[in-house]
Amino acid sequence: MPSDSIVHDRFLLYPEYETLLAKAAQEREWLRSTLFNDRREWIVLDCHTGLHPGEQRVLEFSDINLEHGFVRVQSKPKINFHVKNYQHRYIPLALPARDAVVAQRTKKLSESDFVFHRPDGSPWGDIGDSFDDLSWRRACRRRRRQSA
């Protein structure tokens, strides 16, 4: 597994971000309810906070302060999640990230505090397949258009 400490030199351009959001919203209508179906909100929150996927996967509404506009990233020993270097931190929430949190709150189950949760309220495991599928479909369609 690659190190998280490697500096990445490729970031989404704004038009790429918009395309990804549009595609994520369009594709999720086709997903079964048992599959990760909150890709648009995940992408918005990720792009506007810089949360690591593991941090975002275990993010709970109790970690978010909408009134003051921040997310607290903290270890959660009860679910065996530890923040990198055990450094708790606060991340400001830009308006699009707040909107994504509010959208997720409308889907919240009473028995779960996770922002992104399975239909039974438990946190998601690996959602990479959902994003790989989105990227693969987009790449295939782009190749078909170029060869036509």
Mean pLDDT of 47-70: 92
**What is the rounded distance in angstroms from the CA atom of residue 89 to the CA atom of residue 47?**
17
Residues 6+ apart with CB under 8 A from 142: none
* pTM of the full structure: 0.73
pLDDT tens per residue across span 77-119? 888 888 877 788 999 999 999 999 999 999 888 888 999 988 8
pLDDT band at 136 (very low <50, low <70, confident <90, very high): very low
What pLDDT does 124 receive? Answer: 78
Taking the chain, what is the end-to-end CA distance rounded to the nearest angstrom?
Answer: 38
Burial letters 65-84, b for 16+ CB under 10 A, else e: eeeeebbebbeeeeeeeeee
Task: With a cut of 50, say whether residue 39 has pLDDT above it.
Answer: yes
Tell me which amino acid residue 55 is.
E
What pLDDT does 126 receive? Answer: 65
Domain ranges of the chain: 14-141
**What is the rounded distance in angstroms from the CA atom of residue 58 to the CA atom of residue 72?**
12
Contact 39, 24 (CB under 8 A): yes
Mean pLDDT of 45-66: 92
Contact 100, 44 (CB under 8 A): yes
What pLDDT does 33 receive? Answer: 54
- Report the top-level CATH class of 14-141: mainly alpha
89: nearest Cα among 77, 73, 76: 73
Q: Which two tokens stand for residue 84?
A: 């990198």
